[in-house]
Amino acid sequence: MTDDKPTGMFGVSGSGDTSGYSGLVRKQVIPGTSERPYGGYFDEVTDALEVAYPGFNDAILRVVVDRGELTMYVRKDRIAEVCKSLRDDPALRFELCSSVSGVDYKDIVGGADGDQAERLHVVYHLTSMTYRRRIRLEVATTVDDPHVPSVTAVYPTADWQERETWDMFGIVFDGHPALTRILMPDDWGGFPQRKDYPLGGVPVEYKPVDGQAAEIPPPDERRAYR
DSSP string, 149-212: E--TTT-TTHHHHHHHHHHHH--EEET-TT---SSS-TT--S-TTSTTSPPPPEE-S---TT--
Comparing 15 with 51, the larger pLDDT belongs to 51
CB atoms within 10 A of CB 86: 26
What is the C-alpha to C-alpha distance for residues 63 and 57, in angstroms, rounded to an integer? 11
Task: Give the pLDDT confidence of 129-181 residue by residue, as tens digits.
Answer: 999 999 999 999 999 999 999 999 999 999 999 999 999 999 999 999 999 99
Residues 7 and 5: their CA atoms lie apart, in Å, by 7
Domain limits of the chain? 26-184
Closest CA to 120 of 151, 145, 149: 145
SS3 57: helix
Do 181 and 157 form a contact (C-beta atoms < 8 A)? Answer: no
pLDDT single digits (tens) 81-114: 999 999 999 999 999 999 999 999 887 654 444 4
Give the CATH class of 26-184: alpha beta
pTM (predicted TM-score) = 0.79
